[in-house]
Amino acid sequence: MNQPSSASPSTKVKFFSGETLPLELHKVRVVQKLHLVPVERRLAAIQQAGFNTFQLGTKDVYLDMLTDSGVNAMSDNQTAAMHQADDAYAGSQSFTRLQVAVEEVFGKKHFLPVHQGRAAENVISRAFVKPGSILPMNYHFTTTLAHIMENGGRVVEILYPDALQIKSANPFKGNMDPLRLEALIAEHGAKNIPFIRMEASTNLIGGQPFSIANLREVRNVAQKHGIMLLLDASLIGENAYFVKKREDEFKNATIAEILRALCDLADLVYFSARKVSSSRGGGICTNDKDLFDTMKNLVVLYEGFLTYGGISVREIESMAVGLRETVDETVISQSPSFIEYLVAELERLGVPVVTPAGGLGCHVDAGGFVPHIPQKEYPAGALAAAFYIASGARGMERGTLSSIRDVHGNDILSDIELLRLAFPRRVFTLSQTKYVADRLHWLHQNRGLIGGLHFVEEPPVLRFFNGRLAANSDWPQKLAAKFREDFGDSL
């Protein structure tokens, strides 16, 4: 493995004052206006949105921390590449350039483009999942679960016990337990398990990574039983960064080497380009021609021709550049360093957060923040709405509201209730991050004012996107009044 040069990038700098802060290793050359509206407008906006942050308009949002999907800042080189797009329907040179980048970064020669990550999940599920299939994974993602269930499969999460602990010293809470995996295979039979899925990094439990040592163990089990190993690489850059920082074997490896080591252990890799390459689109890649052939006609049916897959050719060009930038440590480390800073600051202030800090975002423990709200009243959703009222910042509920109902119509309660505050790459400044910490601190001091929610419109699938809720009391008005009392004329 290559040794790091003396000029190896560092995202943390010690100041003469003794403070250590994450330092932006980029400059801002294009800006976009933000809106910080008064608390009265924020209260009205969240009511109009049905207490669902997905339904807020950006004119009412100051910091959009809903997701990192499709909202990462593109680089100057990505933007420039979009101008050389070849818009041919078939045989586009833009696709060829992307295909080369995929093989260079992921090490897979057969590539199928799709319009986003859930489109890849649709193709994979239709190709390999059938009624009665058992799908072991380190943790599910909402759209993954929906596609697997749509095709008659069942997800089984195989975690170590501390994966769901809010506070932990385990650097790899996304690891899969190979002994439990062996037991699951023995119980159901390898023929009923089309693939084992590993998500890098586990979105719903705090963006927690897995180690390469663990992936090797899972790979050995998969090979032993002839089961395909599937890697969701949407946040693989962050997972590679944590491997470098936390796994001794790879402390001197480059991000590119670590990323390839992860992908080399998988039979099939899929990703959302909205995350991994800061562009729109997605893809599926493999070195197995038979797997490629099984899926390619589904791409034509559901996405488009094999050389564009429903993606704009301009986005294809930016994706090719973005994939290569993902292995640049100065690019991939910026969000994790800001997340780590915010997590440490919130811990200092007594606000309950998931530790260790993960990728994607800062995850606030809603169960610990508002323990007086029962899970059936959606505490994480209520906290997301309350935080918006307090700050104008839009986060995302990751808890029971994002779950599903059982066959009897009862909520399947989430393992943990989290408010996710996403950090898109190179979007927010340190002063904005400090603002988030301050408003969360104030909200925590006034947490007793926050109450629960109930559905008034509930879609049957992925209800957290379009569902509408209402407050169970007048707690939103009381919270807004308390804000005005404490902050005076301040926004």
Residues with a known catalytic role: 89, 141-142, 232, 275, 398, 464
Q: Which amino acid is at 147?
A: H
CB atoms within 10 A of CB 412: 10
Contact at 8 Å (CB) between 183 and 193?
no
CA dist., res. 269 & res. 77, Å (int):
25
Beta-ladder partners of 229: 196
Contact at 8 Å (CB) between 403 and 412?
yes
Question: What are φ and ψ of residue 17, in 5° steps?
Answer: -70, -15
CA dist., res. 139 & res. 235, Å (int):
14
Strand boundaries in 352-395, DSSP class E: 361-365, 393-394
Contacts of 262 (CB under 8 A, 6+ apart): 200, 212, 215, 231, 233, 236, 239, 240, 243
Half-sphere exposure of 450 (CA within 13 A, CB side): 31
CA dist., res. 267 & res. 269, Å (int):
7
Burial label, 311 (beta-carbon count in 10 A; 0-12, 13-18, 19+): buried
Write out the H or E segment, with its range, that includes residue 331: helix 329-332
